[in-house]
Amino acid sequence: MLKQNMVSPVGDILKFLSILMLLVITVISQPTFAAVEGEPEGVIMKNPGADLWREVRQRNIAIEGISQIKSVDSGILINPEADRWTRFRVDQLVNYAAIILAGLALLLLVFYLLRGKIKVEGGLSRQMLHRFSDYERVLHWTLAIVFLFLAITGLTLLLGRTFLIPLFGQEFFSLLASSSKEGHNLFGPIFFASLIMMILRFVKRNIYEKGDLTWLVKGGGIIGKSHVSGGFFNMGEKTWYWIVILIGLLISVSGLILVSPNFGQGRVIMELSHIVHVISAIILIAVSFGHMYLGSVGTEGALESMKTGYVDVNWAESHHDRWAKECRDNNRVISADKFNRLQGKINSGTEESGSVAVEGNK
């Protein structure tokens, strides 16, 4: 039928004209038609089918009906957030996380090859300053190890399907992912607790002060060779501290919402929490690369403070001149001999000599 009409344009035109005529007649006759009939107007009914499907699905909100099955969200027929969450995790999160983290690691490697270790100005003096107490160091390493563990287990869940299943096969990876999940759930709350203790212990020394601006202007001494000014913590360290605290709190709160599904939180809340959790986790892992780099191979003498609790006076001069001056003014400089004796005393329980390497296990 349709094909026949198409080949004969005359038929088409005739058809069009007749439709036009019909339309004109209907329009003209409408008012007269109503007037002649004189009947009361009909009830206007909306399409109940349209109403039904509006109640079943909306583009932006999940609408709730009721169900005899009493569980969280059981009344919601279609959750529109589900698709958005899926797209985000599958199409964006996995790819970007892998690219960002791998790219950053590469960048640091290149930076190290170009810049090398930032040496302490004037070499090591072997005169020491006391910097961190035992409690502070234990706290730091607890948070650091729990953080690394959570990062590794979390990234296993996020990236394992792409990168590890092809290596290990599905069955072994399932075991790995299962222990990652259980371990992550168990250590999450410990991260939160250590973070709170971190706030209490270090917050006073991390409030920004006037001299910090100079540090920023000079690029933290990483780029140029000029002397930068800093107090107990310099501007860079303070910023790292606040990133850890603020993003760490975001990660913790969203993580705690995810970890236990039985406080009546629905799917939409959990999907949002997941997004907050992973984005902030990726940011924190990325920034922590920088911290780990600067704290170990990047800066000569930096790791000592967290290993032994003591730092070389010249290191302090390079990175924390205001603090070093304050220590000197208060006669807190410890000679190399005394430092060795102190280290020996701490180790007196064992047969080892007071070498710094042994102290690393403290």
| Three-state DSSP class for residue 351 | coil
Q: Give the x/- contact pattern for another protein in 85-124, rule: CB under 8 A.
A: xx--xx----------------------------------
Strand 310-312, strand 128-130: pairing: antiparallel
Q: Which helix (H) or strand (E) holds 184?
A: helix 170-202
Please tell me the distance from the alpha carbon of residue 124 to that of residue 122, in angstroms, as a whole number: 7
- Residue 313 near residue 320 (C-beta atoms within 8 A): no
Q: Does residue 167 interact with another protein by CB under 8 A?
A: no
Give the one residue of 132, 160, 191, 215 binding another protein; rule: CB under 8 A. Answer: 160
Burial letters 323-336, b for 16+ CB under 10 A, else e: bbeebeeeeebbee
Residue 252 interacts with which of ligand HEM, another protein, none, CB < 5 to 8 Å by class: ligand HEM
Q: How far is the CB of 97 from ligand HEM (least distance, A)?
A: 7
By CB under 8 A, which span of 49-57, 130-138, 218-226, 326-334 interacts with another protein? 49-57
With CB under 8 A as the contact rule, the residue among 9, 31, 38, 49 that binds another protein is 49
Question: Does 157 participate in binding ligand HEM (rule CB under 6 A)?
Answer: yes
77 binds another protein (CB under 8 A): yes
Q: Name the DSSP class of 230.
A: -
Query: Residues 195-234: x/- map of binding to another protein (CB under 8 A)?
Result: ----------------------------------------
Residues of span 236-255 touching another protein by CB under 8 A:
none
Segment 186 to 215, residues that bind ligand HEM, using CB under 6 A: 188-189, 191-192
Please report whether residue 58 would count as binding another protein according to CB under 8 A: no
Q: Which does 174 bind (CB under 5 to 8 A by kind): another protein, ligand HEM, none?
A: another protein
Out of 220, 221, 236, 255, name the contact with ligand HEM by CB under 6 A.
255
Min dist. Cβ of residue 55 to another protein (A): 4
Task: Look up tokens 């709160």; give the residue.
Answer: 253
Least distance from C-beta 123 to ligand HEM, angstroms? 37
Binds 300, which of ligand HEM, another protein, none (CB < 5 to 8 A, cut-off by type)? none
Q: Which of 105, 259, 336, 356 binds ligand HEM (CB under 6 A)?
A: 259
Q: Which of 203-210's residues contact partners 24+ apart within 8 Å by CB, and which partners?
A: 205/231, 205/232, 205/233, 206/233, 206/237, 206/238, 206/241, 206/242, 207/238, 208/235, 208/238
Binder of residue 55, out of ligand HEM, another protein, none (CB less than 5 to 8 A by kind):
another protein
What is the SS3 assignment for 135? helix
* Distance from C-alpha of 102 to C-alpha of 5, rounded to nearest angstrom: 63
Closest by CA to 97, choosing from 142, 158, 139, is 158
User: Counting contacts by CB under 8 A, is residue 78 touching another protein?
Assistant: yes
Residue 291 engages ligand HEM in binding (rule: CB under 6 A):
no
User: Does position 67 bind another protein by CB under 8 A?
Assistant: yes
Residue whose entry in the numeric block shows the structure tokens 């892992």: 285
Give residue 183's identity as a one-letter amino acid code: G
Count Cβ atoms below 10 Å from residue 222 Cβ, excluding itself: 15
- Taking a C-beta distance cutoff of 8 angstroms, is the pair 298, 112 a contact? yes
CB closer to another protein out of 93 and 324: 93
Q: What is the DSSP letter of 90?
A: I
Nearer to ligand HEM, 85 or 339 (CB): 85
Name the packing angle between helices 94-115 and 267-293 (round to 10°).
Answer: 10
Residue 327 touching ligand HEM (CB under 6 A): no
Provide, rounded to whole angstroms, the least separation between the CB of residue 132 and another protein: 35
Based on the shown chain and the rule CB under 6 A, indicate whether residue 132 belongs to the binding site for ligand HEM.
Answer: no
* CA 287 to centroid of chain Cα atoms: 10
Selected range binding ligand HEM among 8-16, 49-57, 231-239, 250-258, rule: CB under 6 A:
250-258
